[in-house]
Structure 1
Amino acid sequence: MQNPFGKGMIPLPPNFITMKNPKTGKVRLGKVGFSISAFIFHYLPAILRSDSYNVLCMLGVDAIVYMAVSMLQQPVANMVIFDPLTVTYILTSILWGCIYNLMYVRHLHKLGYVPGDKHSAQVLYKHKYLKRK
């Protein structure tokens, strides 16, 4: 991903990071902070990033939350107070918005990816996405 207008990498916003796999030379882009796309679209960002591990984790947690919400719902006079699917979607949307970027970066690190440049390393260690050795 070379910058077509000059030398070096494409300029990125300050909260974006690059992760590079030294063995394969592949580079992945990530973001630090709240994930608006995971908040709104749930699994779609993970699917588009080919992040099947986190898609399965998200599906499992969503299923557990749905079962818990369904079990906690007590019908009053044969009237449903709230829709368990809607409540589950709202709760897990907030959860995935808060932690998906962290999950993605840590999973890449387990796969052998390391920060691609000094800025990325500095941001990841500052926000505690990765631990110093």
Structure 2
Amino acid sequence: MQNPFGKGMLPLPPNFITMKNPKTGKVRLGKIGFSISSLIFHYLPAILRSDYYNLACMCGVDMIAYMAIVMIQNSMGIANNTAMTVTYVLTSILWGTIYNLMYVRHLHKLGYVPGDKYSAAKLYKHRYLKRK
């Protein structure tokens, strides 16, 4: 694997990719696969990556899921004190599964392209990006 940061730096793990914006020259790191950090910390990876678009999407989906679970629990006569826990667990599994995909696709929409051949091969192999 080619080291995107030049000589003297450690190479990236095999499941990490680089995305580069040709206009600005900025390089962003992404990951392929399941996001353990989104599973455990929910919104924190989006905040730390300054990924406010996906943060807003996550909050919206979480609110809709919470309202749906409260409505279902009320219709079944179950106490509401479990709605937040159920929502958090279900959406944590959802974000752990798809957050990395959302992040890479959003970067691509912003004009970022794979930073090297290795990253491009990984992104197309795992269907994070579609071939033209």
When residues 40 and 60 of structure 1 are mapped into structure 2, their CA distance, relative to the original with a 3 A threshold, is same
1:40 corresponding residue in structure 2: 40
Percentage of identical aligned residues: 74
* 1:17-96 alignment runs, 5 A limit: 17-73=17-73, 74-75=76-77, 80=79, 83-96=82-95
> Which 5+ residue runs of structure 1 have no aligned equivalent?
none
Out of 2, 5, 10, the residue aligned to residue 2 of structure 1 is 5
Root mean square deviation, CA, Å: 1.5
How many residue pairs align between the two structures? 127
> Which 5+ residue runs of structure 2 have no aligned equivalent?
none
Q: The residue matched to 2:38 in structure 1 has which SS?
A: helix
Which structure's residues are more often helix, by fraction? 2
1:108 corresponding residue in structure 2: 107
Q: The residue matched to 1:17 in structure 2 has which SS?
A: strand
Q: Deviations over 1:14-73 (max 9, x none)?
A: 110000000000000000000000000111000000000000000000000000100000
When residues 59 and 95 of structure 1 are mapped into structure 2, their CA distance, relative to the original with a 3 A threshold, is same
TM-score (norm 2): 0.91
TM-score (norm 1): 0.91
Query: In the aligned structure 2, how far is the partner of 1:2 from the partner of 1:128?
Result: 25
